[in-house]
Amino acid sequence: MPKLKVAAPAKINLTLEVLNKRDDGFYNIKSIMQAISLYDYLTVEIEEAAKTEIVLSGNSNQIPYDEKNLVYKACIKFFETTKIKNIKTTIYIEKNIPIEAGLAGGSTDAAATFFALNELLNKPLNKPQLELLCASLGSDLNFCLNGGTATCSGRGEHTKKIKTTNQYVSLIKPLGFGISAKEAYTKFSQMKEKSVPNYTEKMEESFNEKYLFNSLEKAVINDHEELLEIKTKLPASMMSGSGPTFFVFEKEISEKFDNKRFQIIENLKFIEDGIKIV
């Protein structure tokens, strides 16, 4: 039975400037996304069967292994798009990226699923078709597929690779809760002051920590004392995506926080690739 293991990297948002609301309910954004050396690993196996069947399992008790999972939805969308039938797909998800953390854990797993199925089934989709498939399922999948450093626009699905900077990064996430994109954008919609400083364009021209920016950080930070604590202890830190994970360009930060209240992932690096075979 054909089998493939792929690495799916997390992302952080060096900038996230939320712009106007679109007719489809999403917001247009300008963002610089960066892939980092924190990976989920998907082992994907296919075999011929009497009908299309999808079996998910994994090492995490925090995610569903049914039709609610983006990996499951990615399988369905792939087979609908390619019109390939009668395949049993078995996927084991080794989850290392925290969930509902602003790190694109679900999106990168879904992009990895598209990539792996396309490889295992002799590439029925070319790269532009694969990009369209990613865009149809979520806002971050296109970036996750390609990785590296990229300027992202639209609702995030339009990506343009830019030069990657060598940088160490550490993550800190409060334990006990996550923040969904829907929650963060709802909070943002209630804000009176929504202006952006155009730091995305400046960061694109020259990497500089002073251009770090996240519109959604302002929307949610006052709702959780843990987020305020992170910002107080690490003033140079910035929230990634819809949060609640913050990142900072330091190798080690664990001595500053209680590991019973915060999850710390240290000594990560910026990487140049996206989904890849391991």
Residue 135 CB neighbour total at 10 angstroms: 17
Active-site residue identified among 77, 95, 109, 140: 140
| DSSP strands (E only) in 76-157 | 87-94, 149-153
**Paired strand residues for 149:** 34, 162
- Rounded CA gap, 48 and 240, in Å? 41
Q: Which residues contact 25 (CB under 8 A, 6 or more apart)?
A: none
Look at strands 158-162 and 276-277 and give their pairing: unpaired
Quick check: is 11 catalytic? yes
Active-site residue identified among 11, 30, 95, 187: 11
- Rounded CA gap, 216 and 238, in Å? 10
Quick check: is 66 catalytic? no
How far is Cα of residue 265 from the mean position of the Cα atoms in its chain?
16
Structure tokens that stand for 20 in this block: 């106007």
Q: Is the peptide bond before 244 cis (omega within 30 degrees of 0)?
A: yes
**Paired strand residues for 240:** none
- How many residues belong to the chain? 278
First to last CA, the chain: 18
Residue 98 CB neighbour total at 10 angstroms: 21
**Helix, strand, coil proportions of the chain in percent (round to 5)?**
30, 30, 35
**Paired strand residues for 246:** 172, 239
Catalytic residues: 11, 140
